[in-house]
Structure 1
């Protein structure tokens, strides 16, 4: 005869299953949080990289090419290629006239240093 004060093996397994399900939910939540943090960090790193570069909007019709800071939302480069300071300065010495974006004012940081 079994002792009524004893927990059955089946009940122990049910409790264990509930605990493991809880642990799995917590682990899944932590994974989602960490993935979101990693995504935000990648975005911040990409933005910081863009802020340190320049991009040239190609000539459109009669409008001359426009130099932008890498993070300027006025023009989104299709290839995502950014110019470094030396390349941007070299582009300005090219015989084609390049205008500066009036929104991001790329010349400010380009001429420093």
Structure 2
């Protein structure tokens, strides 16, 4: 007859399986947390990159195109054409065709280095 104080092999395996299932759940949660953190970091990097650039608000009727900083809330179009520093400098040299936003003052980022 078996000793009642002894845990059977089957019970040991069940306990081990429960523990391993718990570990898998914890690992899955850690993976989800890390994936979410990576997505947030990628988004922050995209926003920072967009804020550093410039964009042009297209001409609307008689209003000429307007140059904005990438993060300007006045013209928040995400699909607008992004400009690099050289393109933005060229744009401000043609002030008769393109005006600068008075809110975000895009020319401040175009000062000579």
Range of TM-score over shorter length: 0.7 to 0.9
Deviation at 1:65, TM superposition (A): 0.6
2:53 is the counterpart of 1:53: yes
Unpaired runs of 5+ residues, structure 1, are none
Runs of 4+ in 1 over 4 A off after TM superposition: none
Unpaired runs of 5+ residues, structure 2, are none
Q: 1-side partners of 2:35 and 2:16: how far apart?
A: 28
Q: 1-side partners of 2:101 and 2:47: how far apart?
A: 18
For normalisation by structure 2, the TM-score amounts to 0.86
| Count of residue pairs the alignment pairs up | 112
Q: 2-side partners of 1:73 and 1:9: how far apart?
A: 66
What CA RMSD, in Å, does the superposition of the two structures yield over aligned residues? 1.8
In the alignment, is the contact (CA less than 8 A) between 1:57 and 1:77 conserved in 2? no
In the alignment, is the contact (CA less than 8 A) between 1:70 and 1:82 conserved in 2? yes
For normalisation by structure 1, the TM-score amounts to 0.86
